[in-house]
A and B are shown apart, each in its own frame.
Chain A
Amino acid sequence: QKEVEQNSGPLSVPEGAIASLNCTYSDRGSQSFFWYRQYSGKSPELIMFIYSNGDKEDGRFTAQLNKASQYVSLLIRDSQPSDSATYLCASEHSSASKIIFGSGTRLSIRP
């Protein structure tokens, strides 16, 4: 079974701090990984994707990928109350036309 695992949280972070969200995956053949943000009652919104080992930065967001450890993370710098949401990690299925979602981590930024 191809799986993606995330800590469900809630993860509480003070405003202005760095929020660190983590994800592990079991499919060694996966090449692409995705982070989505989902506000309550809304649809998932793509934050970024990553496919190379190392870091990828986009504004306040940094995705990190370590294929040897099968580990993906998302760092949010200067956290804002508007970052409070559920963050879904997903990996591409290596042999089927789909992506596998983790259960999501609920992030709460406290003022």
Chain B
Amino acid sequence: DTEVTQTPKHLVMGMTNKKSLKCEQHMGHRAMYWYKQKAKKPPELMFVYSYEKLSINESVPSRFSPECPNSSLLNLHLHALQPEDSALYLCASSLSRSTRGAFTDTQYFGPGTRLTVL
């Protein structure tokens, strides 16, 4: 089973709202990722959690706040977003990065959350 789930599928929010995106996997993966993807562009990495600790923050604005409550769950808290933050938000997971290798680096993506900021 290589399933990563994300909720909600679609989200519309105003610039003053606070909302959260949720991602879940039950594959025993210990690395989880948040990506942002604009139309006709590749996924753009935002955050990486490895063994429930934040290991990479790609200089993402503080209006995006990640959280990893346990090894299966990853949240992205949203606050005071701008219309240009409208995009497809993708979660992915991989086995781990404690040792390098194609098997452990392979990332599996969830279906994404389509976010619209008004």
Q: Which residues of A contact B (CB under 8 A)?
A: 31-34, 36, 41-46, 49-51, 88, 92, 96-99, 101-104
Contacts and interface: CB of A to CB of B under 8 A. Distances in A.
Q: 4 closest A-B pairs (Cβ-Cβ)? A: A32-B102, A101-B42, A97-B97, A51-B102
A45 B111 CA distance: 9
Contact of B100 (A33, A42, A92): A92
A49 B102 contact: yes
A73 B33 CA distance: 26
B43 A101 contact: yes
B74 interface: no
Given A92-B105, A104-B42, A43 B48 contact: no
A97 B111 contact: no
A99 B42 contact: no
A43 B100 contact: no
A41 B10 CA distance: 12
A32 B105 contact: yes
Interface of B: 2, 31, 33, 41-43, 45, 48, 50, 55-56, 88, 90, 97, 100-103, 105-112
Contact of A45 (B33, B42, B109): B109
A97 B55 contact: yes
A33 B111 CA distance: 22
Contacts of A46: 2, 106-109
A32 B109 contact: no
Most buried by A among B100, B105, B111: B105
Q: Which of B31, B42, B102, B111 has the most CB of A within 10 A?
A: B42
Contacts of B109: 36, 43-46
Which among B48, B107, B108 has the greatest number of chain A C-beta atoms within 10 A? B107
A45 B103 CA distance: 16
B48 A44 contact: no
